[in-house]
Structure 1
Amino acid sequence: MAHVSSLSRQALFLRPDPTRVVVRRFKPATEPRDLNSKEKTRANHIVDRVLGLDSETAASQLIDVLENFDGRHRNLLRTFELRCDEMEEAFDPHPVFTRIQRQLIGAYFLHEYSFEAAALFNPSIVPHPDQLGVAPDEKRFILSLRAVGEGHISSLTFRTGTVRANGAIHVDPAVRLASVPKVLAREPLPDGEAVELTFSPDEDISERLIFPVTPSQSNGIEDARFVEFRDGPHRTYYATFTAYSGSAIRSELIETTDFQTFRMAPMRGSAARNKGMALFPRKINGRYAMIGRQDNENLYLIYSDDLFAWDGGVAILRPRFPWEFVQIGNCGSPIELDEGWLLLTHGVGAVRKYSIGAVLLDKDDPSKVLARSSEPLVRPEPSEREGYVPNVVYTCGAMRHGDVLVLPYAVSDTFSAFATIRIDALLREMRD
Structure 2
Amino acid sequence: MLNLVTHPLRLHADPSRVVVRPFHIAWQSNGTTPSRTERMVTAVLAMSPEETRHQLEVVLKDFEARHWQTRRVFMTRYDEIEAQLGLDGSQIGDEKRQLIGAYFCHEYSYAAAALMNPSAVPHFDQSGMQPGSLRILMSMRSVGEGHISSVAFREGIITDQNEMRLAPEPPFATAADAIGDEETAPAGPVTVYRHRDSTLSGTVIFPITQAQSKGLEDMRLVHFTHDDGQQEWLGTYTAYNGSQIQSELLRTRDFRAFDLVPMTGSAARNKGMGLFPRKVNGKYMMIGRQDGENLFLIESDTLTHWDEGALLLTPEYPWELVQIGNCGPPIELDEGWLVLTHGVGAMRKYSIGAVLLDKQDPSKVIGRTREPILAAANEDREGYVPNVVYSCGALRHGDKLFIPYGVADSSVAFAFVDIQSLLSVM
2:5 corresponding residue in structure 1? 8
Q: Secondary structure at the match of 1:56?
A: helix
Q: Which residue of 1 aligns with 2:221?
A: 226
Shift of 1:370: 0.7
Instruction: Specify the code of the residue in structure 2 equivalent to 1:15.
Output: H
Deviations 1:11-38 (A, max 9, x none): 11111222221123457799999x9xxx
List per-residue Cα deviations over 1:348-380 (Å, max 9, x = no partner): 111111110100000011111110011111000
Match of 2:106 among 108, 111, 135: 111
Q: 2:148 — aligned with what?
A: 153
Percent of aligned positions with the same letter in both sequences? 52
In structure 1, the residue matched to 2:258 is: 262
Indicate whether 1:100 and 2:81 are aligned.
Answer: no
Counterparts of 2:256 and 2:339, CA distance in 1: 28
Q: Are 2:387 and 1:391 aligned?
A: yes
Q: Does 1:69 align with 2:66?
A: no
Counterparts in 2 of 1:338 and 1:43: CA distance versus 1, 3 Å: closer
Which residue does 2:88 correspond to in 1? none
* Distance of aligned partners of 1:61 and 1:271 in 2 relative to their CA distance in 1, 3 Å threshold: same
How far is 1:83 from its partner?
4.8
The one-letter code of the counterpart of 2:323 is: Q
- Contact 1:30 1:90 survives alignment (8 Å): no
What are the superposed Cα offsets for residues 244-296 of structure 1, whole Å, 9 maximum, x if unpaired? 01111010001111212211101110111010000001110111011111111
- Greater shift, 348-357 or 52-61, is seen at 52-61
- Structure 1 residue matching 2:189: 3-state secondary structure: strand
1:80-124 CA-partner distances (Å, limit 9, x unpaired): 356567778999xxxx86543443344244321010111111000
The 10-residue stretch of structure 1 (96-105 or 232-241) with the greater mean CA deviation from structure 2 = 96-105
Alignment map for 1:125-144 (pairs within 5 Å): 125-144=120-139
**What is the root-mean-square deviation of aligned Cα atoms in Å?**
2.9
Check the 8 A contact 2:80/2:179 in 1, yes or no.
no
Provide closer, same or farther for how the CA distance between residues 68 and 42 of structure 1 changes in structure 2, counting only shifts above 3 A. Answer: same
- The answer as to 2:149 corresponding to 1:170 is no
Structure 2, unaligned stretches of length 5 or more? 86-90
Say whether residues 1:198 and 2:222 are aligned partners: no
Q: Distance in 2 between matches of 1:200 and 1:32?
A: 27
Aligned to 1:207: 202
Q: Which of residues 398, 401, 412 in structure 2 aligns to 1:402?
A: 398
Using the TM superposition, give the Cα deviation of residue 167 of structure 1 relative to its aligned residue in structure 2, in angstroms. Answer: 1.7
Stretch of structure 1 that moved more, 406-415 or 70-79: 70-79
Task: Measure how far apart 1:182 and its partner are.
Answer: 3.6
Q: Tell me the CA shift for residue 42 of structure 1.
A: 8.7
Is residue 2:320 matched to residue 1:347?
no
Whether 2:175 is the aligned partner of 1:183: answer no
Secondary structure, aligned partner of 1:145 = strand
Larger Rg: 1
- Counterparts of residues 304-323 of structure 1 (less than 5 Å): 304-323=300-319
Following the alignment from structure 2 to structure 1, what is the Cα–Cα distance between the partners of residues 51 and 121? 52
Q: Which structure 2 residues correspond to residues 12-51 of structure 1 after superposition, within 5 A?
A: 12-26=9-23
| Distance (whole Å) between structure 2 residues aligned to residue 193 and residue 132 of structure 1 | 36
- Inter-partner Cα distance in structure 2 for 1:51 and 1:183: 26
Q: Which amino acid aligns with 1:70?
A: E
8 Å CA contact 1:30, 1:42 repeated in 2: no
Is 1:236–2:241 an aligned residue pair?
Answer: no
* Cα-to-partner distance string for 1:191-225 (whole Å, 9 max, x where unaligned): 95111222244321111111111111111000000
Instruction: Encode CA deviations 1:282-338: one digit per residue, 9 max, x unaligned.
Output: 110111011111111110001111111111210010011111111100000001111
The amino acid across from 1:63 in the alignment is E
Kindly indicate whether the alpha-carbon contact (under 8 Å) linking 1:30 and 1:43 is maintained by their aligned counterparts in 2. no
Name the SS of the counterpart of 1:344 in structure 2.
strand
Per the alignment, in what secondary structure is the counterpart of residue 139 of structure 2?
strand
Q: Distance in 2 between matches of 1:304 and 1:423?
A: 29
Q: Which amino acid aligns with 1:370?
A: I
TM-score (normalised: structure 2): 0.89
Q: How far apart are 1:157 and its partner, in Å?
A: 0.8
Q: TM-score with structure 1 length normalisation?
A: 0.88
